[in-house]
Each structure stands twice: as structure tokens, then as C-alpha cells.
Chains A and B, each alone.
Chain A
């Protein structure tokens, strides 16, 4: 902390300046209005506004409704330097703008390996072949005749936080943690479909395959396939978005997002894993020793404070403040989230609010009375099996800095006196 004091007020990023400036403008405006109100009253109250007088749009102005025009900043964003081309790239969920646990469909981050396939549902087929009694082909219509279930699950890319292994690099939880979303899926259990084809006794692995130009494949052990995987066609009640695999995707709860094959067209049963590109060249975790872990499927317990955060600075000065964040674990439910205001020296247990579902995002809050001094805020999630988040330095000590994937280290945000927030690491 002394380091920054010596250097004086740090320069703020353009975005946070904009936000903080705008916000403090509002504060000043409000203060001005308050004093004006004492004299003549707040013009927003005293004067009749356009929206008080004139009629608005009728019911069909937007047959598919969109967010208010004043929410135009709430969008997915990408990091252009990260990938060579937008067709095989990624963008990020604006976590800092959201609350509760459900991610709106249009804000779920995208990751494609060959662009977004556009498939007419009538033209889509799902094949099951390999070590089964009867190789089958289903239409979408067939699939909707099976008993179906609804489940809320988070999907996290294994590389979420991958740019932070060597140190804090991106100012915004959208970029450091935004490769995650949380959606209610409707679909048929994978187990039901496999039983329909009849898995042979030596069938130990399942290979899902996508219909897009990348023909994405991953090897999934049969135990998981028969446990909680879904073949889904709805997200949050409506059809999957094209960028999320319309008309059909695999749901692999708690496991890395790359396995949730989109545009799912085939399920092959085999007696061994396939060791395809996405489970050898990619999605293997290189350790400091030069060895690499493979089949690191489960997403470890993780959390992040979404507000305040670099893109969501504090606009209101000292007094009541809501610290809000998300926590999740591929092992099951989150049972506890602790929050530190002093860089991990002391912790308070936060309040988990809303549904607490297995392998789903959890929303937590810590309501504080901010004294206006600098804070180093952190959150630490613990799941129902007692696993809790390590520090980034503990992860580096165990793995080195070249793992890319599975970075679930504790995040630190530095909250300045003026409310600006920065991504930092601490001792």
C-alpha cells in the first residue's frame, strides 16, 4: 500500500475515468440538485418531462424485446490481441454489469473454433454409433419426445483467467473472469439417449462431435456421460442461441466448457479415449517440470468480486456499499464465500443470496460501511466438499506459469480512495 502512496494518485484508465467521472458528475449533480431543491426543487421533479407527457411505443414496437437503449454498454467484449482471427476466437461475459445468478442469453460469452454454424433444425441429425447395440439417428423432433429435464449449470472455459498466470494483466472482471455463464438448460439426459441405443459392456468412453466447420470432438468417460450430462436445445426457456450451438448442444456440468460440444451431431461410444486435438495439443496443463496434465476436466472452486471492479468503480463515496460477486465450483454447491478488504489478512463470511444449486453460479454480497480508505478486496469460495480457492502464488508454486488453463486463484482488486478500481496482485 505504501508503494502507491509514494507515487501519489495513480492515473486511471480511460474507461474507469469515464465511469467515475460520469458518476462523480452525477454525485455533484445530485448534490447540486439537493441544494437547488432546497431553493427551488429538483427540476426532474418540479418540471414535467417528455416521458411524462408524450406516449411511448405500442406493444409490437419490438416483437423480440431488447434491453433499454441506456444499457448499450452492457455487451460482450473481446481481447483482439489474443487470437489471430475472429472466427476462431473468444469474447467475454460482462459480469460486472450483471446481478443474480442467471446470465442473459445474449450476454453469454462465445468461443468458436470455426465460426457460428447456422443450421436449420429440420436439417439437423444426431447420430449415436460405435459400441452400441443399435446405431441410431435422431431428428430434433425425435429428441423432443424423450422425457426432459431442466437444470441450471455454469459453463466455464478452462482458459478463464488464462491471461493472468504471469501476473495481473487485464483491468476488468469481464476479461479476467468473463469466460463463464450460467443458464437453465432444457434437454434429455445423455444417459437416456445412450440407453436407447444400448451401450455394450466394453463401452467406456463417449466422443461427442459438433456439426460446425471445426468438427469439435472430446473424449468423455462413460461414468460422467451416464451421470448428469444433458443433450439440450433450450437455454433460459428459449431455443439455444446460434452462437451457443443451435439447435443442439451437450451439457457437461461442472466440467470445462470445451467439452460442451455445440451443434452436437454425433455421439460415438468407444473402449478408449481418442486423444484428439482439443485434449492433447490444447486443454492440457503444462507444468513447470515439462510434464503436462491431461483430462483435467473439473472446474475448481472459484469466485470473483464483480462490483466494485475495474469496470465498475465506486461512484458514491463513503458510507453504505454493496460488495457483490459470483462463486462457483465444478464439484457441487458453494457453501461459503469469504471476503477480505485488506488483501487477505482478515476475512468476513459473505451472504449467499438466491438459489444455491449444484454446479451453478452463486451470488454473494457483503454489505459494508466504507470509511473511504483504500481497500484490497478479495473473495474466497469454498464448495460442499471443503475445497476452497488457493492464492495465485500457491497455484504458481505448484504448477509454474505455463498452464494456461484452470487458474482459480484468488483475485485482488485495489479500490482507490476516489473509487477507481485496479487489478493487482499482493504479497
Chain B
């Protein structure tokens, strides 16, 4: 049933659902779900991630997925009889912490009714139980082949033109990029402010946006959940045994924050924030890092370059070649190279963090980036 449902076009599912409890649009819901997918998976082979998988959500008792470690609050809710359906899921997603105090889901909730309608419709496409308690009629199977063919046949009007040759250039290959095409892709920003768009946003606005879009991974105060990047704090830790490299303690330029949030965040829903929203989130990150202290502070294109990050001066050029082991060495030693007998000073097996090696439950130190 699950498979056959998914095999149907989304349109068909909508028809089936239109007669039931929700007026949601599953295709739009798929977009809303991008807010969730950093933590939740749904669909073929979906596994538990930071949150439990959401296949066959409707009809599921709260806290019942084996192998997922729920909050005590969620387990208790299940024991008290909470079953996920359209109604209960809607209430939860609107304000998770209001419904289940102590839930570990950091997500603040979906504020728009339309988003709630749409995401419920989307989740219903992966649930055998439609979530409205009534028997769902088996929608007739529809050959979607023609639609797929139509989609791929809708050719890009520029594709043909792009393969023609130009009159100038060494080979005359490619075509001239239109100004609006360059504008659509060229969103990069430099420390000198080149590329900053018009716009502004306040710390207060940023807090709301951050809570909705960022806190589930980066923590309410930028302290980070699990191994997601820490964004705030860490002042004066760069010479410690365990330095904490945050925007405030390490990053040299504020432009990097704006550029990166705009190009790659929120994780799993890149390019979804408006320029004003990115200004607001950037302002809030300054606030979390104690670099501004006024909640009414407004960051804009006009005052952006006034802000300097404290660690800017501590970046230096690559001088590896001057290190003693490169600069002062002659021919490598071949015999009797060490003053005394060679001793083992450290062994990996003491720590035992090698995967598939009995050490799977242990975490080592270090990072790849």
C-alpha cells in the first residue's frame, strides 16, 4: 500500500485527500518538510536521524519506534495514549513544547496554517493510515509515464542557444551570460562589502528566525546540538587544549557569516531566506556572541562594514616552509638516527575508537573540518 501510494503522482494523492480532513498540498508540503529533514527522514529506506523516521507516522503511538531514544516526556505521552493523526500532529507541529513539555525536538513550530496543512498532506503520502481515522479508498493507479515524458520534453529555451558558437572568443564556444542570470547565481560577498544586497534586519527579528531555522542544530544559544557547529562563545580559548572556534572567537570576517547563511543555510533548505532575514540572523549571531548588546540593533548594508570581528588580526600567511623540519633539514638520516632505544609512547588500542573494532560506542577526539 505504501509503495503503491508513492507510485501515484502527488496530484492523485491530493484528490484522495481533498475529500478528507485536510486541504493541504503534498507538493508544497515537501518544501515545508525541508525544515524538518536535517533531523527527520521519510520515504524509502528512511532511518532514524537526530529525530525518528516519519514513515507510517499516522496511526503510530507516540514514542514507539524501536531503536530511537525518545525524551521521557514523549514516551510518557505514548503511554498515556497519544496516537499521531492529523489532529494531534497538527497541534504538536504548531507548538511542540506547548503540547509535550520536555520533548527533545528543538523545532519551535510551524506558524502558518497553510504550512501545517501542506506538511500533513505530505506526511500522509508516506502513511498507510491517512490520519483521519476513516478508511481511505484505494485511489486508482494512474500511469504517470506521460507526465514524466512531458516534463523532460519541456526543453530549456536556452539549451539550444548555448550550444551554438559565438562570433568572438578563442573557440567561440558557449553563449553570453545574461545580466539577470549572473545576478541569480552571483550571490557571493567579500569582506570589503562587495556583493552585500540592500536590506536590513534586527536582533529581535533574528531571534525568531534563528529559533525556527537554526536552533535545532546550533542550539538555542549557538552552543550546538551534538556535533553540529558551535556558533557562539569560546572567547579566549584559541590557545586552550580544546579551542572553541566560533564566529566570535575565531572567524575573521562578518561577511563570511552573511555569505554562508545565504548560500547554504538552513541546512537542507538553502536559499530559502530573504536578504532581510539573513541580515536579521546575522545580527542575532552578533548578539549571541556579545558583539552587539541591543536587541533593537539593526544590521544593514549601510552599517555592515562598521562591525569587525575580534579575531581578524590573528590570521597569517602560509609559512610552513619556514618550519624547522622543512627549512633546516639537510639529507635525511639513514642510520643510527635516534639517541636511545626506540620506545612506544602511545597506542591507538588504548583509546579504541576504531569503527568495527569493538570501539563503536566510543567517540574519539578531533575533527575533519
Question: A interface vs B, CB < 8 Å?
Answer: 1-4, 10-11, 13-15, 77-85, 87-88, 90, 111, 113-114, 122-123, 125, 127-130, 134-139, 141-143, 145-146, 157, 159, 162-172, 175, 179, 192, 195-198, 207, 209, 213-215, 217, 258, 265-266, 268, 270, 272-277, 280-284, 286, 288-298, 300, 310, 338, 342-347, 376, 380, 382, 387-388, 390-391, 394-395, 397-399, 401-402, 404, 406, 414, 422-427
Contact = CB atoms under 8 A, between A and B. Distances in A.
Nearest to B269: A213
Nearest to A89: B368
A196 B169 contact: yes
Given A129-B182, A382-B332, A90 B188 contact: no
A85 B347 contact: no
16 contacts: A14-B358, A85-B228, A87-B38, A125-B162, A134-B168, A136-B174, A141-B163, A142-B163, A143-B173, A169-B351, A171-B357, A280-B251, A343-B338, A346-B336, A399-B323, A424-B344
Given A81-B364, A427-B342, 17 more contacts: A1-B342, A81-B227, A84-B225, A87-B268, A129-B185, A142-B174, A175-B355, A196-B171, A274-B189, A275-B255, A293-B316, A310-B348, A387-B326, A394-B325, A422-B348, A424-B345, A425-B345
A175 B358 CA distance: 15
Contact of B185 (A114, A265, A274): A265
Residue among B182, B253, B334, B368 with max Cβ neighbours from chain A (10 Å): B368
Interface residues of B, number: 98
Contacts of A198: 169
B191 to A, nearest CB: 5
A422 B256 contact: no
Contact of A345 (B174, B177, B342, B344): B342
Given A170-B364, A402-B243, A1 B341 contact: yes
A328 B229 CA distance: 32
Contacts of B80: none
Nearest to B225: A84
Contacts of B320: 293, 296, 300, 406
B33 to A, nearest CB: 14
Contact of B342 (A293, A296, A344): A344
Nearest to B239: A290
A165 B268 CA distance: 32
A298 B162 CA distance: 36
A146 B165 CA distance: 12
B348 A424 contact: yes
B102 to A, nearest CB: 22
A426 B186 contact: no
B138 interface: no
Contacts of A292: 238, 250, 314-316
List the 6 closest A-B pairs by CB distance, nearest first: A343-B342, A390-B325, A81-B363, A423-B348, A163-B366, A84-B227
Contacts of A136: 169, 174-177
Contacts of B217: 84
A259 B191 CA distance: 20
A276 B194 CA distance: 13
A146 B318 contact: no
A169 B348 contact: yes
Interface in B191-245: 191-192, 217, 225-229, 238-239, 241, 243, 245
B150 interface: no
A85 B50 contact: yes
Contacts of B43: none
B263 interface: yes
Contact of B364 (A87, A163, A214, A283): A163
A168 B344 CA distance: 11
A4 B344 CA distance: 8
A275 B338 contact: no
A347 B346 contact: no
